[in-house]
Structure 1
Amino acid sequence: MPPQVSTDETDELFTVAADYLRKRLTPELSQPKVAIICGSGLGGLVDTIEETDKVEFSYEEIPGFVSSTVPGHAGKLAFGLLGKNKMPTVLMVGRFHFYEGYNLKQITFPIRIFKLLGVETLIVTGAAGSLREEFETGDIGVLSDHISIPGFCGVNPLSGPNLPAFGPRFTALSDTYDYELRVKAFKAAQKLNFTPGSIKESIYCFAGGPTYETRAEARFLKSTGGDVVGMSTVPEIIVAKHCGIKILGLILVTNKVVEKKPKSADPMNYQQMMNYQDQEPVNHEEVIALGVSKAKDMKNLVKTIIELI
């Protein structure tokens, strides 16, 4: 059993967790250079690392980690060598979410551990809904920016006392998404002969969940310039930026967001009532299913990007 430690965010807590992992790994695996967060339905990314070298830990056994409770999230860390260049890599097979009842410091706790272990590059994957006609289901968005709706209300993983051992009190986010990594993502897609236009730069809107957006909320997010919307990703990215880790965000578009105004009940709006064609509501099982069906594409893309690093 791992030692019982406080859930308060302290340098000591991070050190305890990092030491727990380091002592149970070979020297090579204990110093991963790349971390990958596997989003909904994308746990198959763990198959990118070589089975003979793989070492796994359930979240429950790692000091300070909470449990992943969402279907499609296995809840484990996997360490191994990835790609032709045998890159030492750690994968979060399943992430934590705000809507599970965790605070943002619990959600982002693993990022601090990755930094202590030596991670230099974070690849964050996830599923999201499309706010744009040109973003089809199955497309992959390469994040160039984000909009944090909870952040507007002061809900930020960097709130509270700063941790100067990791980064500054005030962290600039204007250059969050590493340009060279984004270039490599497009080069990798080209190398894999992805359909032209199926990988696009995108702006991610972070909403707290667990409800999907109302129609009015979807139209509002679209008006802000957002391309896709999801319930994760941004908290981890903010903390990674605070830690000085290079970041690449890859988002699988799993559904079209419902934004059409509902059918009018006003008899004076007879024409709209008669001609109305509604949109199907979002279904989480379908989101997971599409993630699984497209896991091979995402897996090959991530593997090829790492081979270009």
Structure 2
Amino acid sequence: MDKIINGDRPHQDHNARSYDTVKGVADWLLSRTDVRPRIGMICGTGMGSVPGMIKVRNEFDFAEIPHFPVSTVKGHAGKLILGFIGSVPVMCMKGRAHYYEGYDIAQCVMPVRVMKLCGVTHMMISNAAGALNENFEVGDVMIMKDHVNFLGLAGINPLRGINDERWGPRLFLTNRIYDKGMRQMAKQAAKELGYESQFHEGVFAMVGGPNFETVAECRLLRMMGVDTVGMSTAHEALAGHHCGIKVFAFSIVTNKCDVEYDSGYHISHDQILASGFRMELMIRMWISTIISLLSSELDDESIKS
């Protein structure tokens, strides 16, 4: 069941598109912490304990942060954590707000822009997803190389409206949203840990939700070359790329999509949560290794700046 926050359902905050509003949120956070994050993390469904690897300096409820969208979905704790993984300063969202919860799409990506103004240069985004690729198994991980954003194709785009050049250009290429260097580090980390057989690279599709996909929709997505499907991530990656953040994203395969009408296959949100929880130790070790590999790049950037 969705949580009710302060007696209200999610509401439209049209200030979420304003640079000044987002800067105000970033300033609010920075005035309450000495952490200056370089890596931003968005932990999706079933990944609630991953922030446990962080040496926490500060923790805020989404509800106490001005203008911040509050998550209402089971498995999304709604916490913003600032701290360190090793020596790397991070800002981590324990949960996210989805479009299907009733938020405007610009509100959903506001946290990404807050991260940018807090100093984040690299972003790691996770989601729980259904597998369309027949070679993927529950428990596998797909590193996102590209996406199909059905909301964006329908005009539900966080960049719609008047463009503020302080975020990025009005028109820009999206053929390299997912940073190649970070993807290579992720594959190297999986190999070093002996997880290589469980890791893949592919195309993610974002749909609106909250219902799971029909058989016909799954068949269509598979025909289009989509490997995993979920209800988040693409808009966050787009907003991050637009404002100059290096983006890395991955799907945790928590279920297989049903492409047969008489299969009797059943999936529930609780099953997806359980699948995600079972994989958390592996994911935590993998992310920790990626950040260790990434730390030298962050050090080089600090020297140059």
TM-score, normalised by the number of residues in structure 1: 0.89
> Which secondary structure state, in structure 1, belongs to the residue aligned with residue 92 of structure 2?
strand
> Which secondary structure state, in structure 2, belongs to the residue aligned with residue 43 of structure 1?
coil
Alpha-carbon deviation of 1:54? 2.6
Q: State the distance in 2 between where 1:59 and 1:158 align.
A: 23
> Which secondary structure state, in structure 1, belongs to the residue aligned with residue 163 of structure 2?
coil
> Which secondary structure state, in structure 1, belongs to the residue aligned with residue 113 of structure 2?
helix
Query: Which residue of the partner structure matches residue 158 of structure 1?
Result: 159
Q: Is 1:20 the counterpart of 2:65 in the alignment?
A: no
> Which secondary structure state, in structure 1, belongs to the residue aligned with residue 165 of structure 2?
coil
Query: Which residue of the partner structure matches residue 141 of structure 2?
Result: 140
Q: 1:69-88 maps to which residues of 2 (within 5 A)? A: 69-83=72-86, 86-88=87-89
Q: 1:218-257 maps to which residues of 2 (within 5 A)? A: 218-257=218-257
- Could you tell me which amino acid in structure 2 is paired with residue 245 of structure 1? I
Q: State the distance in 2 between where 1:54 and 1:47 align.
A: 12
Alpha-carbon deviation of 1:197? 2.2
**1:132-188 deviation line (CA, Å, top 9, x unaligned):** 110100000000000011122111111011121010001211011111100000111
Q: 1:8-87 maps to which residues of 2 (within 5 A)? A: 8=15, 9-26=17-34, 29=35, 31-50=36-55, 53-83=56-86, 86-87=87-88
Query: Which residue of the partner structure matches residue 304 of structure 1?
Result: 289
Query: Which residue of the partner structure matches residue 275 of structure 1?
Result: none
Q: State the distance in 2 between where 1:19 and 1:54 align.
A: 17
Alpha-carbon deviation of 1:191? 1.3
User: Structure 2: any 5+ residue segments left out of the alignment?
Assistant: 1-12, 295-305
Query: Which residue of the partner structure matches residue 187 of structure 1?
Result: 188
Q: State the distance in 2 between where 1:137 and 1:178 align.
A: 25
Q: Is 1:285 the counterpart of 2:270 in the alignment?
A: yes
- Could you tell me which amino acid in structure 1 is paired with residue 289 of structure 2? T
Q: State the distance in 2 between where 1:62 and 1:109 align.
A: 12
- Could you tell me which amino acid in structure 2 is paired with residue 154 of structure 1? G
Aligned length: 281
**1:30-55 deviation line (CA, Å, top 9, x unaligned):** x20000100001011111112xx431
> Which secondary structure state, in structure 1, belongs to the residue aligned with residue 253 of structure 2?
strand
Query: Which residue of the partner structure matches residue 294 of structure 1?
Result: 279
Alpha-carbon deviation of 1:255? 0.1
Q: Judge conservation of contact 2:68–2:111 (CA < 8 Å) in 1.
A: yes
- Could you tell me which amino acid in structure 2 is paired with residue 82 of structure 1? I
Give 1 or 2 for the bigger CA radius of gyration: 1
Q: Judge conservation of contact 2:33–2:57 (CA < 8 Å) in 1.
A: no
Q: Judge conservation of contact 1:171–1:241 (CA < 8 Å) in 2.
A: no
- Could you tell me which amino acid in structure 2 is paired with residue 244 of structure 1? G
Q: State the distance in 2 between where 1:77 and 1:118 align.
A: 15
RMSD: 1.0
Alpha-carbon deviation of 1:306? 0.5
- Could you tell me which amino acid in structure 2 is paired with residue 73 of structure 1? H
- Could you tell me which amino acid in structure 2 is paired with residue 221 of structure 1? L
**1:202-228 deviation line (CA, Å, top 9, x unaligned):** 100000000000000000011111000
Q: Judge conservation of contact 1:257–1:282 (CA < 8 Å) in 2.
A: no
Q: Judge conservation of contact 1:40–1:94 (CA < 8 Å) in 2.
A: yes
Q: Which deviates more from structure 2 when the two are superposed, residues 135-144 or residues 149-158?
A: 149-158
Q: State the distance in 2 between where 1:184 and 1:279 align.
A: 40
Counting aligned pairs with the same residue, the percent is: 38
Q: State the distance in 2 between where 1:199 and 1:56 align.
A: 31
Query: Which residue of the partner structure matches residue 271 of structure 1?
Result: none
Q: Judge conservation of contact 1:145–1:177 (CA < 8 Å) in 2.
A: yes
Q: Is 1:104 the counterpart of 2:105 in the alignment?
A: yes
Q: State the distance in 2 between where 1:66 and 1:91 align.
A: 15
Q: State the distance in 2 between where 1:54 and 1:7 align.
A: 31
Q: State the distance in 2 between where 1:198 and 1:300 align.
A: 14
- Could you tell me which amino acid in structure 2 is paired with residue 164 of structure 1? E
